[in-house]
Amino acid sequence: MSNLPTEQISKLLDIAILAARAGGVVLDSYWGKQLNIREKGRAGDLITEVDQKAEAEILKVIKRHYPDHAILAEESGIMGTSDNQYLWVIDPLDGTTNYAHSYPQAAVSVGLIVSGIPTVGVVYNPMLKELWSAAQGLGATLNNIPIQVSTTDKLGNSLLVTGFAYDRRETEDNNYSEFCYLTHLTQGVRRGGSASLDLCHVATGRLDGYWERGLKPWDLLGGIVILKEAGGKISAYDGSEFDLYSGRILATNGYLHSALSQALLNTPHGADLSFK
């Protein structure tokens, strides 16, 4: 737990919301327009001028209020020293591929780590006018209405979500087997295309669980704070402690965490894939 007083955490959350909304204005203004789209080096890893312009607006807000804080942003990289107590983690456009195709599952994600602890999270989808926010000990909300996870406790009754990394064409560790296996065991598995929104949908109870590999800290931080404050659980695939820098996450409502973890560990792979 953070040792910050509640008033300070609340203030940090307010600034995170301001920053996310500033980025959201950019996303909204370019929505549905012709974009300059290019790849960042790997097939399918897209970037547009919107990513960069939204990040610039987010950074303006944070630097104006907290010029001494460190920042890790997807497009700009790390700013500040590694020993800083405060680290803002920013994804200006999570779901760039969706956004580029005018598919409205994309969001701004702003999170804050305080002394190594994920403390504040905001995820904003301006196209659908949905803003999730949370801070340690203050609960989680969607458009200022408190949210909580579902109570689904059996995989057979669950609806899950996952994603596929950009290197899925190049590695056998590509999540395809897990996707097929869990589709068989549950009521369905969705592919959202935005990790931050996937976490928020679990936090809101729309979905019951989420797993994915190949992720970056900025994909996850805002959403994990929101999910935890909504009563959810986060870990590594095997149920051990979650590492933000591992690239992998298992996130659920808590009730089916062990069952989903076990299913991931038991997934048949390759030619051995079967649903007996």
Three-class SS of 83-139: CCCEEEEEEEEECHHHHHCCCCCCEEEEEEEECCEEEEEEEEECCCCEEEEEECCCE
Cα 214 from Cα 168, distance rounded (Å): 9
Model confidence band, residue 171 (pLDDT cutoffs 50, 70, 90): low
Query: C-alpha distances in angstroms, 140 versus 86, 149, 164, 204, 270?
Result: 21, 10, 27, 9, 40
- Return the CATH number of 155-272, one of 3.40.1110.10, 3.20.10.10, 3.40.190.80, 3.90.1150.10: 3.40.190.80
- What is the β-pairing status of strands 188-191 and 46-48? unpaired
Do 6-146 and 155-272 fold alike per CATH?
no
Six token digits for residue 194: 């935005």
pLDDT at 37: 61
Give residue-wise pLDDT tens across range 34-87.
766 665 555 555 567 888 999 999 999 999 999 999 999 998 999 998 899 999
- The top-level CATH class assigned to 6-146 is alpha beta
The least confident of 42-46, 133-137, 155-159, 189-193 is: 42-46
Model confidence band, residue 166 (pLDDT cutoffs 50, 70, 90): low
pLDDT at 271: 47
Question: Rounded mean pLDDT of the chain?
Answer: 91
Model confidence band, residue 216 (pLDDT cutoffs 50, 70, 90): very high
Six token digits for residue 148: 């909580």
**Side chain identity, residue 259:** A
pLDDT at 108: 98
pLDDT at 3: 80
Q: What is the CA radius of gyration of the chain?
A: 18
What mean pLDDT is predicted for residues 12-36? 92
More confident residue, 170 or 110: 110
pLDDT at 213 over 60: yes
Sequence spans of domains, the chain: 6-146, 155-272
| Three-class secondary structure assignment of the chain | CCCCCHHHHHHHHHHHHHHHHHHHHHHHHHCCCCCCEEECCCCCCEEEHHHHHHHHHHHHHHHHHCCCCEEEECCCEEECCCCCCEEEEEEEEECHHHHHCCCCCCEEEEEEEECCEEEEEEEEECCCCEEEEEECCCEEEECCEECCCCCCCCHHHCEEEECCCCCCCCCCCCCHHHHHHHHHHCCEEEECCCHHHHHHHHHCCCCCEEEECCCCHHHHHHHHHHHHHCCCEEECCCCCCCCCCCCCEEEECCCCHHHHHHHHHHCCCHHHCCCC
pLDDT at 275 over 70: no
The least confident of 48-52, 97-101, 131-135, 244-248 is: 48-52
